[in-house]
Amino acid sequence: MSSPRASGVLLHPTSFPGRYGVGDLGLEAYQFIDFLAASGQQYWQVLPLGPTGYGNSPYMCYSALAGNPLLISLELLQDSGFLEDGDLWHVPEFSGDRVEFEKVLDYKMPLFHKACNTFKEKASEVQRTKFAGFCESKAYWLDDYAIFMALKEAHGGASWYQWEPELVTRSHAALQQWGEQLNSEITFHKFLQYAFFSQWSQLKQYASDRDIQIIGDIPIYVAHDSADVWANPENFCLNKETHELDLMAGVPPDYFSSTGQLWGNPIYNWEHLQQTNFKWWIQRFEAMLDYVDVIRIDHFRGFESFWVVELDPEVKPEDRTAEKGEWVKAPGKEFFETLRDKLGKLPILAEDLGLMTPEVEDLRDSFDFPGMKILQFAFGSDPSNPFLPFNYPRNCVVYTGTHDNDTTVGWYESREQWEHDAILRVFGQISSEGIHWDLIRLAFSSVGNLAIIPLQDFLGLGTPARMNYPGKPSGNWEWRYWGGSITPELAERIKSLTQTFGRIAQPKGTQE
């Protein structure tokens, strides 16, 4: 995906401000897009948008294709006639800078049920036709997801592999019986997806009208307790009797963890997937392109080879580590060739961080996928460090840091003295504007075609604004910015920097 010079902002929608406890797809989202346009940005990068489970991680969702209901705007539901004015009068006092996920869920869910009941009773013929069309077009994943969520609620939140055997194995008779019994709940989950995709599509169109492209994230793995695995167990390596995991995905010891990371995800049965001509994966990419413009593949190296840890049943889950595992080859070349044959040359970015090998780099480069360069990794080693800007190829995406890193201010403040010395050797001195602006300028001035900056760095925020600590099971994904933070003055400052380093969009018709 070689592109003209451009830049953008990394921000997940849950981080928008607002009175309802979590960022949503309402007014603040539109104001953020206006801010991007005013600051000369061409890209908005988000994290996965799926319905999150335990730990609230967007990388551990109940579905790889569904949307997160928490992002549904209550005010837009009200505008559609599904909620009344009085429904939004009594809002709990939520934190302004953190998402209190459970509290938000307790508040929003009854209102979602009311909106769904109102839809059933009062929806216009046009609305009913649109809903029916949505359900039909998304049936290949929506039907499984809706009954999965209804069954999960009927079983007190238990994981699908703990349900009755006939449901675990998806007996046709059992699914039919439970489908009739849970018809209302299934319709509710379909309604939530209809509401999410309707609101997201309108927001995406608003961004497109302002020449803002959305970069979406496709995690390589899916959650074990998900509709994806329950509906397609043959695509994964599961215990044939218990349907639990004997093998688990992760990474060996790295920058983020001295014992590696166990992610809790099942690994793929790539042999079976290849026999199906990668049908499930093709559908996943196809679905992603319905609501984003560019796809960032998380953990790209897993398409060349992936880290497999065999779980010891004698070791408690909380004591397990990823140190003892092995790399296993994946048919990445065959997959991406099939993907290209089916869908054409796609706008794909490769998250190629961690332990890279020549084979992974060859896979990335053979399909012309830009890799990622993180400036926080650039200092304190020798001149061959690939994260130093003078080593960048043009076809790459430059970040100050990502959602897995500390903010740039927090990162700098936590460095040892010798690391400060290494940074000063590059900059001479830290400017009066702060280290975050120094790294932003370094990213923008690099030869990398695309520069993406987390909003936290544009705001100069410290560690409390960090989005995720890899390997930490709770307390992540909660940061929100305060309303009024993204000012016209900040937009003008970013736009000036964008113009200075040639990242402003060229007038249409003049681009190469």
Which positions are catalytic?
298, 351, 404
Of 98, 39, 29, nearest in space to 440 by CA: 39
Q: Residue 343 and residue 365: Cα distance in Å, rounded?
A: 19
Q: Residue 76 and residue 115: Cα distance in Å, rounded?
A: 11
Q: Residue 275 and residue 84: Cα distance in Å, rounded?
A: 52
Q: What is the largest CA-CA distance in the chain?
A: 72
**Which residues in 426-445 are b (16+ Cβ under 10 Å) and which e?**
eeeeeeeeebbbbbbbbbbb
Q: What is the SS3 assignment for 450? A: strand
Q: Residue 229 and residue 220: Cα distance in Å, rounded?
A: 14
Of 116, 108, 121, nearest in space to 186 by CA: 116
The percent helix, strand, coil of the chain (3-state, each to 5) is 45, 10, 45
Cβ within 8 Å of residue 363, ≥6 positions away: 303, 304, 332, 333, 336
Q: Residue 23 and residue 101: Cα distance in Å, rounded?
A: 11
Cβ within 8 Å of residue 217, ≥6 positions away: 45, 46, 47, 48, 58, 295, 296, 298
User: Across the chain, how many H-helices and E-strands are there?
Assistant: 18, 12
Of 345, 35, 83, 352, nearest in space to 191 by CA: 83
Q: Provide φ and ψ at 122, rounded to 5°.
A: -125, 0
